Amino acid sequence: MIFVLLALWASFLTDSLVSKFSQEPPVYSSISHSKELVIDQNFGYTLKTNKKITVLSAEGLGHASVRIFYDKLVQIKGFSLEVIDPATGKTIQKAKMKDLQDAELYDGFSVFADNRQKYYVVNSAKFPIEVHIQTEVYFQSNFSFQPWIPVESTFQKLDEAELAIIYPESIGIRYQEQHLSGNKTEESLADGRKKLVWKEANLPVQDLSIREEDDHRLYIAPKEFKLESFQGSMNDWSELGLWKYKLNEGRDQLPQEFREKILKLVERIDDPYERISVLYAYLQKNFRYVSIQLGIGGWQTMTATDAVKYSYGDCKGLTNLMKAMLEAAGIPAFYTLVYAGEGESDIRTDLPSNQFNHVILRAEIDEQPVWLECTSNSLPAGYLGSFTNDRHVLVVTPTGGYLAKTPSYEESSWNRVENEYFLQLDEKGDATMTMKQHLEGNPAYKAVSISRQLDSRQQRDYFNKNSAISGLVIQDYQFESEQLDSLPIADRTVKGIVQKFAQTTAKRLLLKPFFTKIKLDEIGFKNFDLEETYAIDLPKGVVSEFNLEPLEIKEEEYSIHIENQLKDNQLLVTRKIKVSIKDPKDEDSKKVLISKINSVGYGTYHFTKPSLNQK
Amino acid sequence: MKKQLLLCLLFLLHLSGYAQKEKFGKYNSNEISYSEVDFEPDADAVVLFEEGVSKFFGEVFETTYHFRIKILKESGIARGDVKIPFYSGDNRTEEISGLKALITNFEGDEPQSIKVDKNQIFEVEVGNGWKEYRITFPNVKVGSILEYTYKKTDKNITLLDGWTFQNDIPTIMSSYSITMIPQLEYKMIGQGTKYNTTSEKTVNNGTYTWTLRKLNSLKAEPYMNNFADYRERVEFQLSRYQKTLYEWEDVLKNWIVLGDEVLRGYTDKGYFRSSPLEKVMDGVDFEGSTELEKAQKAYYYLQQNFQLNTESGFFPDQQISQLVKTKVGSAVELDLALMGILRSMGIECHPILVGSKGSGRSDLVPFPFINQFNSVLLHAKLDGKEYLLDLEDPLAPFGYVDLDKHVKAGLFLTKENSQLVPINIPHNSNSVFTSVLKFDEEKNLIVEGSLRRYFYEGLQMSHRSQNLQKNNEPLHKLFTLDPTWEVVNMDMQDNLKEDNYTTTNYTIKIQGQDSQGAALMMLTPFKIATFSKNPFTQDFRIFPVDFGFAFSETYSTLLEIPEGYELDDYPLKEAISMKNGEVLFSYNPVLMGDKVQIVAKLEVKKPTIDVRQYANLKYFMETVATKMNAPLVLKKVSNP
C-alpha cells in the first residue's frame, strides 16, 4: 500500500532556523544628561534635568521632544529648550514654559484621572541639530520615584549621564542598581544632608528588542514618606502595607440596608467558599468597573458607601466593597496590591516600594487564599486569570503587609481543550460542519472574556478567523460558560458550512487541513492539553492512501498521538496533544515549538479519486 | 389581508410612538420590552431615539441634543460611560449647558430611575482647545435605558455642525430639525442611502426636520477604510446673509468665489510670492532640458530637504517665509511651495482641492460646500502633458498621488475661473510572484523567489521595508513566514523612481519536506502569496468591499522534481470569474519533463464590490485560497 507520513518531518527540525539578521542598531541621536533630585524636609522633592541631545536624523526627532507629567501633586516649575545648529552655533528654535502644549494624559480606559502632560515637539529638516533642554519639576510627595534610566531611547547613543540625589537622612532613600557599571560616589554635605551621585557613559545602543530586565537602571525608593497627610515608612513590605491600610481605614463601612441585604444572601449558607462565591457573584452582577482616579493621588479608595450608591467603582473601590461584604459575612479578606498586566515582569521583591498599579482581594478560608479580581464580571471566585496570575503581591492587613504569590494556573487541569467535529461532504466539495468545544481553565476564561468584549457578530468572526478550518460560514453559534468552583468552564457549539472543504486533483480527493492549531497564548501557562475527534463523511468509494496506523510522537516538551480510521466512508481521526514546557522560553522559541507541533499531521488527508462532482 | 392591515397599523403605531418629541424619562412599553434589534440582532446596545433641535439666537447657534440608549447584552454595559466632546478653543467657540442624565432600570414594567449626580459628570480639558464632558451612569445593567440631554451653543455660524444619523451601535430613530431665520440663508447637503430614499422630511414655518429610522451601526470592516464616507448625514453652509434691510451678502455662492477665497488665503500666506522661494532656489540646480525634468528636480529637492509635519487640511498654517526658514511643513504647504517653484520657472501649475477618502464625503456635491474638501494636490502642465503632483508621501516618486486622494473629482483653483474637474490617476499596481522550488543535497527544499510589486503596491513595500530598517528588524518580516523556515537571504531593490517597481529577492530553506524518504511527498507550490488565506471571514457586511484600486497578482512557480521522484498528481487547471467579471482567477499547471510550472493569476478589475455580492466574493476568495494551498504530489520511483 502506498502511504505517506503526515508531515512527520516537523519533529526533526532544529530549534530555530529563521535567520535573525542581527546587526548593530542604527543611531538616530546621542545624549548627555544630568539629573538632580533634591528631597526636602516636607517629603517633597525637586527634580532638575539638563539634557543635550544631538539629533542625527529625522528618526531621532522624537528623542528630543519633551513630555512632562503633572497633576495636583506635581508642578512644573521651569522649562526651556533651545535648538542649535552645531555647524554655525546659531540658535534655530527656542521654547519656554508658555510654548508648552497641554493635554490630558489619557490611559485609554479612565473616565477621569488627574493625569496631564505638557509637551513640546521639536521639528527640523536639517541634521544634525543640538537640542538643549532644561526642566524643573516639583513633586509634593516622595511616595514614589521614577527609575533613573541612563539610555533614554532606543537607537540613541549615550555619551554620559549623571544622577545626583540629595536627601535628609531623616527621610532617607533606598535604591537598587540594575546593570550599572559606572561610578557611584557618596558625600555628606555640610548641612547634614547626604548626596549620592551615579555616572554612566558610553552604554550600548539599544533597539526594540531591549527588555526591562536587561536595561541599565537605578530603582529608587524612600525610607520615610508622606502622601498628603498620610505619613509612612517603606523599609519593608510590612510598613508599606500598614501605611496602605491606614490610608483606607474606615472607608469600608457598608450602609446598613446593604449590609442586611448581604447577610440575607448568605444566611443559609455554611460553606465559606460558597459564601464567597455568592457574594462575589452578587458584586459581579450588580456593579461595574469604572476607572475614576481621585483621592490622595489616586491611591485612596472610594468609600464602600459611594460604591453601593453608584453601583460602580474602580479596582480600589470594588475591592474595598467586596472586602467589606465578605467581612460582614464573617469571611476574612485583605486588600492586595499587585502590578497587573499580561506577561508583565514580577515586582522587585527585595526593594519594598510602590511598584503596583492594581488591587485585588485575598479572601481566606482557614488561612488559605481565595483570590478575587473584583473588576471582573465573569471570573469564578478563586481564579485570577493572566492579568494578575503568577506574581508577587502585597497583602494589606491591619498589622502590616506581607508578600504572597498568586497562583500560576500551570497545571494541565487549568489548560484543557476538547473538540468534537462532525463534517459531511457534499457533491460540490463543501461540507456541513458541527463542532462542539469544551474548554477548561485558562482557555475557558479567554473565551469568556472575548464573549464579554465582542458583540455576537464579532464573536463569530473571531472564531472564524482563528479556526483551523478555513472557509467556514457560520450558521449557528452558541456559547455558554459556567464554573466548577474556581475552574472556569466554557462550551461552544458551532454549526456551519465549510466552503471548499474538499477539492480534486487529477487523481485524488484532498481535504483541507483541519487540525486545530495551537496558539501562542495557549502554551503561555506551560502545560496544555488538547484532545479532538473528527468524524468526516466522505463520498462513496474513496480509498485511503495514508497510513492508518497510529502516529505517536514523544518529545521532551510535548507528545502527540494521532489515530485514523476509515470505515463505511467515514474518516475518524483522534488527536491528542500534551504540551509541558520545562524551562521559560522567549516568544520566538515558543513560536518555533508551536510550529513544530502544529505541523505534525498538518498535511493533507488525501484519497484516491472518488466520483466527486467538482463545480 | 387582515394580517397585512394589522402589520401596517402596527408599523404606523410604532412610527407614531416616535413621531412626537420624546419626554425625558418617559418610556413606552415598546422601549421597556425592547431586547433585540431586528435588523442587527448581534447588537449589544441600541440608540432607541436621538434628536437634535437647532435654533438661532442672534449670532449664536444652539442645538439641543437628546439621546436614549438601551443596553441589550452584557458586552453593552461599557456604554455606561459617555463622552461629549466640544471645541472650546481660546474663545469658548462651543459651550455645553443644561447637561442632565438619567438611568432607568425596570423591575417588570416598573421603572426605577436614578438621576446622574453632578459628581458623576466630569469636565476634562483634552488638549488643543478640545474639552469633554464624561458621564458615568450608575447601576448599568442589561435592560437599562440611559438617557441624557444637553444644549450646545456654537459661535461659528458659517459652517454648521449638521447631524449624523448613525452611531457605532444601531439606531432605531434619529431626528434632526433646524429652524432657520430670515436673515441667514443656508445651503444644505445630505448624504447616505436612507437619507436619499426613506428619510421623512418636513418643513413647517421655517423649521426643517429629517427623521431616519432603522439605521445600521457604523463599524470598521476589512477592505473598507473610508466607511465614514457612507454616513447618513446632513450639513449646512451659509449661502447669504442680510447685511441691511435691503442688502444681502453672498457667501461662497459658486465655485469661482470659493476658489478665489481659498486662493486669497494662499496669497495671504505668501504662496504666490516669488521672493521667499528665491531663497530656496538659490544655489540649487532646477534646470533641465524639459519642463518635466525641471519639475522632477523641484519635487525631489523639496521631498529630500523639507520635513513633513502632522498638520492636515487644505489651508497652510505657516507663511511661506516661515516654511522656507524651518523647512518643516504640512503636505499642503509643501505642495504649494512646489507650485511656487514651478510657476517661478514659467511652468503652469494649479492646486486642486479634494475631499480625500474617509473624510466623510468622496463624491462631490454640485454646490460649493467648503467642508467637502480637506486636502490638496497639484495639477501641472509639463511639456504639453498634464501631471498630478503631491508631496504628501515622503517616499513617493514624482507623479504619485496619495491614495486617499484618488477620488472622482476636485476643485481646480485658478483665479476667477475655479471649476470642478474630474480626477483620473491611472496606474497598474500589480504584483508578480515568481519562484523556483528545488531540493539540495540534504533533501531540503530550497525556494528561490522574487516578488515584483508595481506602482502603489511597490510604494507600500517601500514603506514597510523602510520601517523595518529603521527599527533594525529583519526584512523577512515583510511576510508571514513559518518560524521553522530558514531565510537564507532576502533583499529588496527599490526601482520605483526609475521603473515604478520594487523587487524582493529571497532564498528560503525548508527542512524535512522529504520526510525520510516517504513514498509520497506533497508540496504547496506558492510559499509566499497574498490571498492564500481568505481575508473575508465575516458572515455578512454592512459596507461594500473596497480594494482601493484595480490590480492583478500573478504567481509563477517552477518545481524541479527531485531525483528519485516523479510527479504523480497536481491540482487541476481552473479559471473562474465572479459575475460581471469583476474578479477573475486562473490556475494553470504545465508539465515540462522533470519540471512542473504552476501559473496562477488573480485579477480585481473593479475595486469596489457591491455589498450584495459579498457572499459570492467570500466564496470566490475561498476557492482562490484553497487552490493556492493545493499541493503537488510527488511519488517515489520504485527503482530509480
For A84-153, give the DSSP string: E-TTT--EEEEEEGGG-EEEE---SSEEEE--EEEEE----SSSSEEEEEEEEEEES--S--PPB-SS-S
Using CA atoms, how far apart are residues B375 and B240, in angstroms rounded to an integer? 25
Domain co-membership, B365 together with B468: no
Domain co-membership, A364 together with A421: no
In a domain, A549, yes or no: yes
Burial B587-624 (b: 16+ CB within 10 A, else e): bebeeeeeebebbbbbbbeebbbebebbeebbbbbbbb
Domain co-membership, A90 together with A130: yes
CB A164 within 8 A of CB A47: no
Residue A29 bridge partners (DSSP): A55, A156
Domain co-membership, B363 together with B382: yes
In a domain, B245, yes or no: no
Strand segments, DSSP code E, in B383-462 are 385-389, 409-412, 419-422, 431-439, 445-454
In a domain, B614, yes or no: yes
Which pLDDT score, from 0 to 100, does residue B365 have? 83
User: What are the contacts of B583-588 at 24+ separation with CB within 8 A?
Assistant: B583/B609, B583/B617, B583/B620, B585/B620, B585/B623, B585/B624, B585/B627, B587/B627
In a domain, B143, yes or no: yes
Q: What are the φ/ψ torsions at residue B572 (nearest 5 degrees)? A: -75, 155
In a domain, A21, yes or no: no
Of B368, B401, B422, which one is at a domain's C-terminal end?
A: B422
Contact B483 A464 (CB under 8 A): no
Using CA atoms, how far apart are residues A316 and A318, in angstroms rounded to an integer? 6
Of B422, B442, B470, which one is at a domain's C-terminal end?
A: B422
Using CA atoms, how far apart are residues A528 and A514, in angstroms rounded to an integer? 19
In a domain, A171, yes or no: yes
Chain A residue with minimal CA distance to B77?
Answer: A288
Which pLDDT score, from 0 to 100, does residue B513 have? 67
What is the amino acid identity at position B100? K
Domain co-membership, B447 together with B405: no
CATH code, domain with A188: 2.60.40.3140
Mean pLDDT of B510-523: 74
The pLDDT confidence band at residue B229, using thresholds 50, 70 and 90, is confident
Report pLDDT digits (tens) over B247-299: 999 998 899 999 999 999 999 999 998 888 887 788 888 999 999 999 999 99
Share of chain B above pLDDT 90, in %: 78
Any B CB within 8 A of A120 CB: no
Domain co-membership, B174 together with B62: yes
Domain co-membership, A258 together with A169: no
Residue A396 bridge partners (DSSP): A401
Looking at the structure of chain B, the number of domains it has is 3
Burial degree of A187 (CB within 10 A; 0-12, 13-18, 19+): exposed
Report pLDDT digits (tens) over B109-156: 789 999 999 989 999 999 989 999 999 999 999 999 999 999 999 998
Chain A residue with minimal CA distance to B623?
Answer: A500
In a domain, A4, yes or no: no
**Which residues in A lie closer than 8 A to residue B512 (C-beta atoms)?**
9-10, 12-13
CATH code, domain with A304: 3.10.620.30
Domain co-membership, B57 together with B145: yes
Domain co-membership, A416 together with A367: no
Cα dihedral B509/B512/B516/B521 (nearest 10): -90
Domain co-membership, A197 together with A248: no
In a domain, B619, yes or no: yes
Looking at the structure of chain A, the number of domains it has is 3
Contact A18 B487 (CB under 8 A): yes
CB B514 within 8 A of CB B635: no
Higher pLDDT, B16 or A54: A54
Domain co-membership, A337 together with A433: no
In a domain, B495, yes or no: yes
CB A301 within 8 A of CB A293: no
Q: What are the φ/ψ torsions at residue B21 (nearest 5 degrees)? A: -60, 130
Among the partner residues B483, B516, B568, nearest to A591 by beta-carbon distance: B483
Report pLDDT digits (tens) over B432-447: 999 999 999 888 999 9
Q: Are strands B145-154 and B94-107 parallel, antiparallel or unpaired?
A: antiparallel
In a domain, A541, yes or no: yes
Ramachandran assignment for A513, one of left (phi > 0), alpha (psi -120 to 50 degrees), beta (any other):
beta
**Which residues in B lie closer than 8 A to residue A8 (C-beta atoms)?**
515-516, 518
- Residue B294's domain comprises 255-422
In a domain, A337, yes or no: yes
* pTM score, whole prediction: 0.90
Using CA atoms, how far apart are residues A383 and A380, in angstroms rounded to an integer? 6
CATH code, domain with B35: 2.60.40.3140
User: What is the rounded average pLDDT for all residues in chain B?
Assistant: 91
Domain co-membership, B513 together with B613: yes
Q: What are the φ/ψ torsions at residue A543 (nearest 5 degrees)? A: -125, 135
Domain co-membership, B202 together with B151: yes
Q: Which residues 473-512 of chain A have a CB within 8 Å of chain B?
A: 473-474, 499-500, 503-508, 510, 512
In a domain, B14, yes or no: no
CATH code, domain with B524: 2.60.120.1130
Report pLDDT digits (tens) over B383-400: 999 999 999 999 999 999
Q: Quote the distance between the C-alpha of residue A68 and its chain's center.
A: 26
Which pLDDT score, from 0 to 100, does residue B602 have? 98
Domain co-membership, B96 together with B174: yes
Of A405, A420, A445, which one is at a domain's C-terminal end?
A: A405
In a domain, A309, yes or no: yes
Contact B136 A292 (CB under 8 A): yes
Domain co-membership, A134 together with A242: no
Domain co-membership, B262 together with B373: yes
Say if residue B514's pLDDT is above 80: no
Among the partner residues B127, B511, B518, nearest to A5 by beta-carbon distance: B518
Domain co-membership, A372 together with A281: yes
Say if residue B16's pLDDT is above 70: no
Domain co-membership, A213 together with A277: no
Using CA atoms, how far apart are residues A336 and A244, in angstroms rounded to an integer? 10
Of B169, B197, B220, which one is at a domain's C-terminal end?
A: B220
Of A352, A384, A405, which one is at a domain's C-terminal end?
A: A405
The pLDDT confidence band at residue B107, using thresholds 50, 70 and 90, is confident
**SS3 assignment for B91-102:** CCCEEEEEEEEE
Which pLDDT score, from 0 to 100, does residue B476 have? 95
Domain co-membership, A206 together with A66: yes
In a domain, B577, yes or no: yes
Any B CB within 8 A of A118 CB: no
Domain co-membership, A416 together with A519: yes
Chain A nearest CA to B275, separation (Å): 21
C-alpha cell at B574: 481552473
Which pLDDT score, from 0 to 100, does residue B515 have? 57
Domain co-membership, B412 together with B435: no
CB A35 within 8 A of CB A148: yes
* Residues with pLDDT less than 50, chain A: 1-21, 612-615
Q: Which uninterrupted H or E stretch holds B14?
A: helix B2-19
Say if residue B340's pLDDT is above 70: yes
In a domain, B250, yes or no: no
Of A343, A377, A405, which one is at a domain's C-terminal end?
A: A405
Number of C-beta neighbours around residue A194 at 10 A:
17
Domain co-membership, B153 together with B205: yes
In a domain, A101, yes or no: yes
- Residue A133's domain comprises 29-227
C-alpha cell at B141: 445593567
Q: Which residues 551-580 of chain A have a CB within 8 Å of chain B?
A: none
CATH code, domain with B316: 3.10.620.30
CB A5 within 8 A of CB A605: no
What is the amino acid identity at position B444? N
Domain co-membership, B445 together with B499: yes
Any B CB within 8 A of A405 CB: no
C-alpha cell at B551: 490590480
Which pLDDT score, from 0 to 100, does residue A609 have? 67
Domain co-membership, A205 together with A341: no
Contact A464 B126 (CB under 8 A): no
Using CA atoms, how far apart are residues A348 and A352, in angstroms rounded to an integer? 8
Report pLDDT digits (tens) over B553-581: 999 999 999 988 999 999 989 999 998 89
Chain A nearest CA to B306, separation (Å): 5
